[in-house]
Amino acid sequence: MRVINKGKNRIMIILAIMMVTGGLMAQPQHQDRPPAPPDSEQIEHLLSELKTLLSLTEVQSVQLSDLYRSHFSEMKEMMEKQNGNREDHHLAMDALKKKLEIGVNALLNDEQKAEYAEFLKHHSPKSDRKRPGKK
């Protein structure tokens, strides 16, 4: 009788371990995925926040809007066309981000540039997370 109980206990333990590890392995692995580009409402909110924070002129506001809309459109297109080579994709996204930064900084005066740099430190998506091969 005791041998049967030991056998049942072992089977129960093995089943419990299988259920737990199976459940863990079934969890989606999305940690490496880049964040989705913002939708039009989120872009509007971002532009409104930047206009206020940076005290943009009307001309600067329109130019910044054009830059950001173009940037996010290109980003979305790149994400849709991603060919599976992650390193190439990361390099292309980094180049796109740099292009936006250069464009934005060309529109701003020195005081606005400092405010914008501070804004980016606190509002940048996880794009600056450590990547393989990146220090």
Structure tokens at 14: 């093995």
pLDDT in tens, 101-127: 999 999 999 999 999 999 988 887 654
83 Cβ contact partners less than 8 Å away, ≥ 6 residues apart: 89
Identity of residue 5: N
CA distance 49 to 92: 27
CA distance 14 to 8: 10
Residue 124 DSSP symbol: -
93 closest CA partner among 107, 74, 114: 74
- pLDDT band for position 87 (cuts 50, 70, 90): confident
**Residue listed under structure tokens 């093995």:** 14
- pLDDT band for position 37 (cuts 50, 70, 90): confident
Contact 58, 87 (CB under 8 A): no
Identity of residue 128: D
pLDDT of residue 122: 87
pLDDT in tens, 7-31: 667 776 776 676 665 555 555 555 5
Q: State whether residue 26 is helix, strand or coil.
A: coil
Q: State whether residue 29 is helix, strand or coil.
A: coil
